[in-house]
């Protein structure tokens, strides 16, 4: 008898899986039995090697997620490679840092396109595929602590991640009855490329660590359990949740 977290036979699409959080989630889903399709601009060689190292199936679909143009092609290529889609993880993201008084329209548009617009339209395309399959599916969006808080000097990032939390709820409301679970994970402060500037700033790094009850930055592997849970049958009655994985940051 399989356990409720078993993803054997499932196909998971993970955007931005070449490094960091996306890579950690891809490896966790593969470890639970899912085939992985990585989507992004950079060839995820390390991720592929790690997935295949645990016996997982892997494919890569190159795409620029700063635009919606490749979305239909992504879905078609995944279906051609593995015959179906069961899980979508909208992880790919970008960030721009500047004071709100100086923030440019280009930096606003670049972040909103990657972090909010593309995840919605990719979710829409994949949900249509789920419905055509007749088997439902799981969508996991990657939110942020800034889905709950304002932050500083990252106005478009805060807007996008606040939007992700709202869109997650809306899609859950519309699609739950169709057997589609839409939820989100809100990582706390994780050691990734996006937080390199914060970790390099001695004062900011000290202040951040002082607030995290766990006393450390998160690592991508810390998100694996939450992703497997939300992608699995164990979460079949969970809809519209944004789950913090933050070392206790919000509790402080």
Tell me which residues are annotated as active site: 157
Q: Tokens 């196909």 belong to which residue?
A: 11
Do 17 and 10 form a contact (C-beta atoms < 8 A)? no
Helices H / strands E in the chain, number of each: 9, 7
Q: Give the bridge partners for 36, in sequence order.
A: 12, 58
> Residues 160, 115: contact at Cβ < 8 Å?
yes
Beta bridge partners of 37: 13, 59
- How many CA atoms lie within 13 Å of 107's alpha carbon, on the beta-carbon side? 16
Distance, in Å, from the CA atom of 207 to the CA atom of 43, rounded to the nearest integer, reads 35
Distance CA 84, CA 166 (A): 28
Burial of 145 (0-12, 13-18, 19+ CB in 10 A): middle
């Amino acid at each position: 008898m399989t356990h409720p977290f078993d993803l054997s036979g499932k196909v998971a699409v993970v955007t931005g899986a070449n490094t960091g959080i996306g890579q950690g989630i891809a490896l966790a889903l593969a470890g639970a039995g899912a085939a992985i399709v990585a989507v992004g601009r950079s060839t995820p060689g390390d991720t592929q090697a790690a997935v295949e190292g645990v016996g997982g199936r892997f494919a890569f679909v190159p795409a620029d997620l700063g635009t919606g143009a490749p979305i239909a092609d992504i879905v078609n290529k995944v279906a051609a490679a593995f015959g179906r889609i069961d899980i979508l993880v909208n992880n790919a993201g970008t960030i721009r840092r500047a004071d709100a008084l100086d923030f440019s329209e280009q930096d606003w548009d670049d972040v909103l396109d990657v972090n909010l617009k593309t995840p919605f339209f990719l979710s829409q395309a994949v949900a249509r595929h789920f419905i055509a399959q007749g088997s439902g599916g799981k969508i996991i969006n990657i939110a942020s602590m800034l889905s709950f808080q304002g932050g500083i000097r990252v106005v478009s990032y805060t807007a996008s991640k606040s939007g992700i939390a709202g869109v997650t709820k809306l899609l859950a409301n519309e699609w739950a009855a169709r057997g589609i679970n839409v939820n989100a994970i809100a990582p706390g402060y994780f050691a990734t490329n996006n937080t390199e500037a914060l970790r390099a700033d001695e004062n900011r790094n000290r202040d951040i660590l002082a607030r995290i009850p766990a006393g450390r930055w998160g690592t991508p592997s810390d998100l694996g359990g939450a992703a497997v849970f939300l992608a699995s049958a164990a979460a079949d009655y969970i809809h519209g949740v944004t789950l913090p994985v933050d070392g206790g940051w919000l509790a402080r």
